[in-house]
Structure 1
Amino acid sequence: MSKPTITAFDWVPDFARGQVRDLRVRWALEEVGQPYDVLYLPQGCQKQEPHRARQPFGQVPTYEEGDLILFESGAIVLHIAEQHGRLLPGEQAARARAIEWMFAALNSVEPPISDYAFATLFEAGQPWSKPRLPAVEQRIHERFGEVSQRLGDKEWLEDDRFTAGDLMMVSVLRILEDDGFLERYPNLAAYVARGTARPAFQRALADQLAGFTGNPPPGFEEWLKQQQQQGEAA
């Protein structure tokens, strides 16, 4: 098996450190014990060739292993889980349920979290952001409540065994770990704490943070300042 290479940014603003989606791929690789290389991209290069040939939407991460090139963190994590025979149960029904939770994390839980990021950060200065924020927060709490109810008092989502479904769900839930949303759901807060306490996660996080050695693109600081000022005035 060849050593894979993933792509990541060499710089992101402070609020994004520890959240860029290459962390999910790093975590999976650490869980299965697979060494990997990282190709670091300066901000802006992701929208240019040759990265567009790897990732048509100009995003990170990507995953290269021999002739195989993958994009989308969920697809990459699933490939790693299947390739190494870990992070997915061997029994067919349990395996299907673990994959089901991967899709749930990305398709049901993460979208309102992304909406929240746009409303409070990326488009905070736009006139539509503040009025729509209560509805966005309501959708987040609805999804968190549903996951909380299904998790109950279990350690992990399925069969009390950590799977790729838990890896993706914890990765998504922890996006709002510092925003107060998890406080209403003690079992989810404990679930996220269990996931992020895993040695593989800690190694992945440390590696991602250590890779931020680049510089911000020209004009970023001014853009961020304008967004903050407009958001405060809205």
Structure 2
Amino acid sequence: MKKVKIQIIKIGIQHHNVLFKKLENYNSKLFQVSIKQISRPNCDFGWGFNFNSLTDILQNAFDKDVYDLCIGFIDTEIENNYFSKRLSEKNNIYVVSFFEIDKILSSNNINLFNFMLLTIYRCLTRFKFNRKPSSHHETKGCLFDMCGMKEDIIYSASAPIICQNCQTIILEQHSNKQFLNDLKDELYKIKKGTYYRIKDFIETNPWFSLIIGIFISITINILSNYFYENIKKLYNF
């Protein structure tokens, strides 16, 4: 399958520059990226999408003859406090803001890189299937959750899925299941860190975790005694 070529545009100085370095080394079957830095013009707090705005800035920066899709990233608030927005249907241009999202994810022990990947996969899928699936109001941890409340992003950023309804829409657009299978495989790898997954499990299942802890302690004690006795026999202690 041919990879979608995505131009990532960093608008102004980024507080999360390490994410872009990590993205350059990210391996995907579905897309490849090239990263471009542009200056951020003087503006009021809260970027708009209309005249002389983010739309114009990204349209002018987007090398549309080379790339299929453009995603601009910015640290500051954008109009209506969206975290992502499609700016141009004709040229496949999106903008993504880290504003407030970084703090929400950090307080829930979720890597901000997860959010970056989610927005890329979301834009990519809509590009492939002519703006479908659309976002749904119900929060399911799906890639296409609307997240009317920004805090809802924690569900998809910690363990994203493609809900059954969105899978059906994708398959209706293209009978070949390969894209959907690759997408699901790559989303499966987007998780919280191992330490925090274990911590969440213990907090959610305290009694079961206690039983497991006791069982492991007893097992380790039995194995320790077994090996100790065998070493004693071996060396005639």
The TM-score normalised by the length of structure 1 is: 0.30
Higher relative helix content: 1
Larger radius of gyration: 2
Higher relative strand content: 2
Instruction: Report which structure shows greater RCO (CA 8 Å, sep ≥6).
Output: 1
